[in-house]
Structure 1
Amino acid sequence: MDTSCGQPWGLTRLAPFIPSAVPSVAPFRVELDPVTQTGVYRDATTGRLIEAGKHGTNKQTSKTEKTGGGGDGQRPQPSDQTTVTDYGDD
């Protein structure tokens, strides 16, 4: 019985790390606006304000729907209660 171990398969998939492929500096910087006390994004080279899009919270609403029931009155079917959750913008 051979108890020697070969090279693990994952090591055969490795490639050399090339540091030049990784950007050294982010293209933006984040600062604290002293008036609003919120983070603002600025271009790292020009210093101009960058619109970061809509980042915020959302409003969650739920409603309950009953399904089923019915039947002939003598042997009513059980009803099923389902909760539907919806997410909307503030």
Structure 2
Amino acid sequence: MESLTSIERYASIEMCQQAVGARNDKENQMEAPKTDVLLKASEVAQELKVHVTTVYRLANSGRLRAHHIGQGTIRRRGLRIPKSAVAEFLRESAVA
């Protein structure tokens, strides 16, 4: 068995580390989170062809996924619904 010189040994170790490092970099890369368009309750109501109050009722009952932004103690202005939640609601409520 032939003995490697210190330079050859260092080069082979370095190549192995680079190969492992490249593989780990690919594994550790995370996909950027996909941003979802947030719609106002009035926009969702127009899309679903219902009254705005119906959208609030669906959101409060949990049937329509929504985010409450701000306090909203005086007026109901802080409700935002992801566009994907509207599509999901339509898919679930489809009549067979």
TM normalised by structure 1 equals 0.25
Q: Computing the radius of gyration over CA atoms, which structure comes out larger, 1 or 2?
A: 1
Greater helix fraction, Structure 1 or Structure 2? 2
Q: Which has the higher contact order (CA 8 A, sep 6+)?
A: 2
Greater strand fraction, Structure 1 or Structure 2? 1
TM normalised by structure 2 equals 0.24
